[in-house]
Structure 1
Amino acid sequence: MATDSAVSAGPAPARRLLLLLVPALAVGVLSALVLLGVSLLAEQLQDVLWETLPDALSVGRYSSLWMIVMLTSIGLVTGLAVRSVPGRAGPDPATMGLVDPPLPPGVVPGLLLVTVLALAGGVSLGPENPITAANIALAYWVGRRFVPGAPDGLWLGLAAAGTIGALFGTPVAAALILTETLTATPGKGALWDRLFGPLAAGAAGALTMVLAAHPSFDLSLPDYPGTHWGDLLSAIVIASAGAVLGLAAVYAFPHVHRAFRALGHPVLAMTAGGLLLGLLGALGGHLTLFKGLDEVKVLAADPGGWSAAEFGGMAVVKTAALLIAAACGFRGGRIFPAVFCGVALGLCAHALVDGIPVTLAVTCGVLGILLAVTRQGWLSLFTAAVLASDMSLLPLLCVATLPAWLLVTGRPLMQLHKDGTPLR
């Protein structure tokens, strides 16, 4: 990511940083508004597809038949949309990361359209990747016209930070993610000078989203009773198990992607993907559909409501759904579905060994699988910690990160080169 050019080399005086504040705030607010608009539109369409329509047809809203029919139909419609819109809604999503170079602005409407279809249709992907790509494209296009002398990397960094800040409702997430790509190297200025603009954009995006929609990642988990020696072993085992589950999807990703590409047509691939997602939904239940942010709160609200086998089954089904959705061509992100997988895995561990505190099990499950799927250490640790809102867990999470990171580091990424081979 070329955000190192967001501010020029050398010590950055306050005046230059202040000049950066206006475009940073503007990009942050606009990034949040794009996310908010897409989310609201997807929610309205979701109500029609999963409530109004099945009620009108006297079909169970989340019956196995309706899940199979709906997700197959969404695959077909989304495939046709990808084929028809300008630029085919962007490159193959299997080749895209969370933050990539700007797309042509003409691709953005089609990309947002197919994102809304996937979010509303129950596809196990989140909004983060396509929304970030859309906001980067828009910020880059507008920024070059109004401030032609600014470095190209400025708009990429601001849009990425604004979107991430809006997604998580806090600018800290944006700063932590960008810290992994913006390193303080000699001659390029202090790290916080280079983070100043992205942090402002992240704050603007986060505040806009909080004021407009009041999002919350707090799962209202039981209070953590305090650290014991046994918790250390539990944290390491659960985080490592989450990493292994995530790596299973990572290693299967190029093979599943190759199988869908062998169908030779995006409409066929996405229709087949939709059918498989419908079958998985029928197997795992309706909670394994959609991006998972609302559904994970249902799980966390009733840790004793399912057996260990049922929680484990949901974790595996959701992981498989994430794998298929990402490989067959649906546009969407992997963070929110991975959080669901981690929560289900953690609740499975608690159900197996009820002496493991629920909060510890859930946060460690999320930590492990996010490390494997995103390969973002700060993001994984931050997300796990914010789910519990209990700082006493942070030392345990930091320790649990170490063996889990050793499992995932150097492994392939859940992202492919254009020839279908995995990135490392």
Structure 2
Amino acid sequence: MASNQATTEPSAEGQGQEAPGASQLKAVLLSPGYLKLLLLAALIGIPVSLVAFGFVSLEHELQHWIWESLPDALGYSSQPPWWWPLPTLALAGLLVAPVLVRMPGHGGHLPVKGLGGPPQPPKALPSIVLAALIVLPLGASLGPEAPLMALGGALALLGVARAKREAQPKAATIIGMAGSTAAIATIFGNPLVGCVMVLEAAGLGGPQLLLLVVPCLLASGIGAVVFTGFGHWTGLGIGALSLPSLPTSGTPDAGDFLWGIPVAALIAVVIVGAQSLGWSTAVFTRLRTGPRTVVCAVAVGVCTAAYALFSGRSPEEAALSGQAMLGQLAASPHALGVGALVLLVLFKSLAWGISLGSLRGGPIFPAVLIGAAIGLACSGLPGFGTASGLSVGLAASGAAITGLPVTATLLAILLVGNNAADAAPLMVVAATVSFVVATMLRRKAPAELA
């Protein structure tokens, strides 16, 4: 009887009264302190986006010079020779080793540990930027997303006085996350991805979640407008992750789902295997970091050169973040045969795994390329189409590497553009399967690195 009575009594909402949580949220949102925090978040989005634009543009220009202009000047007009990654990665190791050993911040977050961790202090900023601008253009199999997040967070913290950070650590954390979100939104090409990533990673709920997301959404939205507009004004490439051309897609059928589930599981196995290699590499470089980092950089060069040697294709396809190669695969999914795709997955995974535990950069972009290559390699299976293979690869790889299935699905849906309405159900299933398999297989961080 007590339970029946409880269910029939009118709720606070039915009586026109606000729930306690809603009234508390309203009070915080309208408080002068929170309104000042929102204003600061909005203002932070502008300088963060401009600095991110400069960082990405410089990184792309250096990459273009090292992998296209310089080989062409030396007489290799069609593509760099197969051995090209050997000297470039050796140079990357020699140049970045002193940064990792001697400079404050040690080059920032180790990519095998995830997206970037908490906001980095401003004093670590020079080593983070320098390490990324050394290893990324010279061919490390990493992306720019983690350095960008660290850059945005550190710049945001610079906008908050040290005394204020110490007096209000929660507000400083929110501002730091807003700066990181503004920076990461630029490279993903959409401010919504960064915000969803922050929400899903935070694991918060109720009013706390909204208090965090509003500054992040504001900073990333303003930052994205400034970043994109500045790119159009200068004519420089902004380097946002995008697929300008895609294979024709139809509504996935039963065959797409039947093959999509094991393919998503396979992608998770490959991603987790490369991460395990990254953990082993991180343990290896923990002691005698300088010389062992050089050894690992050379090993990355060997893997990249081996792909070019065995496939007869450009080593650039297996080097760098993989963003350009991902666009090529989407535009011409049959340009590489199954054998070349298998070689790309094998050597790119090895190069990426070693880079995760020794160099500096982001873990997401190479993982997405590996997943897309696996999906396309499997697209010749009976009843499994090219567009479905690419969709599964994009969603499954993102979920496996980030551990954030909602973020991975959203990013994949945005990447496929006009195909999103048809491909979304398949991508949701693929991301879920990959997330579950990766979570079951992923090992804990070694005790000495925890």
Superposed pair shares fold, TM > 0.5? yes
- Alpha-carbon distance in structure 2 between the residues aligned to 1:128 and 1:395: 27
- Alpha-carbon distance in structure 2 between the residues aligned to 1:256 and 1:299: 29
CA gap of 1:23–1:39, structure 2 versus 1, over 3 A, is same
- Alpha-carbon distance in structure 2 between the residues aligned to 1:372 and 1:18: 37
Mean CA deviation greater in 25-34 or 356-365: 25-34
TM-fit CA distance, 1:153? 1.6
1:276 alignment partner in structure 2: 299
TM-score w.r.t. the length of structure 1 is: 0.87
Selected match of 2:29 from 6, 9, 13: 13
1:255-277, Cα deviation, whole Å (9 max, x unpaired):
2322344xx43331222122111
2:289 alignment partner in structure 1: 266
Selected match of 1:249 from 258, 265, 274: 274
- Alpha-carbon distance in structure 2 between the residues aligned to 1:401 and 1:322: 21
Would you say 1:102 and 2:130 are equivalent positions? no
1:204 alignment partner in structure 2: 222
CA gap of 1:252–1:96, structure 2 versus 1, over 3 A, is closer
Selected match of 1:396 from 423, 426, 433: 426
1:231-269, Cα deviation, whole Å (9 max, x unpaired):
1112212211111111111233322322344xx433312
Whether the 8 Å CA contact 1:246–1:370 is kept in 2: the answer is no
CA gap of 1:364–1:322, structure 2 versus 1, over 3 A, is same
Whether the 8 Å CA contact 2:404–2:435 is kept in 1: the answer is no
2:100 alignment partner in structure 1: 82
Amino acid at match of 2:301: G
Selected match of 2:254 from 229, 240, 251: 229
CA gap of 1:171–1:47, structure 2 versus 1, over 3 A, is closer
Which runs of no fewer than 5 residues in structure 1 stay unpaired? 1-8
Amino acid at match of 2:180: A
Mean CA deviation greater in 306-315 or 191-200: 191-200
Identity %: 25
1:328-384, Cα deviation, whole Å (9 max, x unpaired):
2x110011111111111111111x326422221112112222222211112211222
CA gap of 1:49–1:398, structure 2 versus 1, over 3 A, is closer
Q: Which structure's CA Rg is the greater one? A: 2
- Alpha-carbon distance in structure 2 between the residues aligned to 1:183 and 1:255: 28
CA gap of 1:35–1:418, structure 2 versus 1, over 3 A, is farther
1:100-125, Cα deviation, whole Å (9 max, x unpaired):
23333222112101101112101110
1:43-78, Cα deviation, whole Å (9 max, x unpaired):
222233233433444467521222211111111111
Whether the 8 Å CA contact 1:169–1:207 is kept in 2: the answer is no
- Alpha-carbon distance in structure 1 between the residues aligned to 2:49 and 2:333: 33
Look up the SS of the partner of 1:121 in the other structure: coil
Where do residues 50-69 of structure 1 align in structure 2 (5 Å cutoff)?
A: 50-58=67-75, 62-69=80-87
CA gap of 1:326–1:56, structure 2 versus 1, over 3 A, is same
RMSD between aligned residues? 2.6
CA gap of 1:85–1:418, structure 2 versus 1, over 3 A, is farther
1:4 alignment partner in structure 2: none
TM-fit CA distance, 1:293? 1.0
Look up the SS of the partner of 1:75 in the other structure: helix
TM-score w.r.t. the length of structure 2 is: 0.82
2:362 alignment partner in structure 1: 333
Selected match of 1:37 from 54, 79, 101: 54
1:384 alignment partner in structure 2: 412
- Alpha-carbon distance in structure 2 between the residues aligned to 1:95 and 1:153: 23
Selected match of 1:342 from 338, 353, 371: 371
- Alpha-carbon distance in structure 2 between the residues aligned to 1:39 and 1:48: 14
- Alpha-carbon distance in structure 2 between the residues aligned to 1:100 and 1:406: 22
Whether the 8 Å CA contact 1:166–1:207 is kept in 2: the answer is no
Whether the 8 Å CA contact 2:186–2:227 is kept in 1: the answer is yes
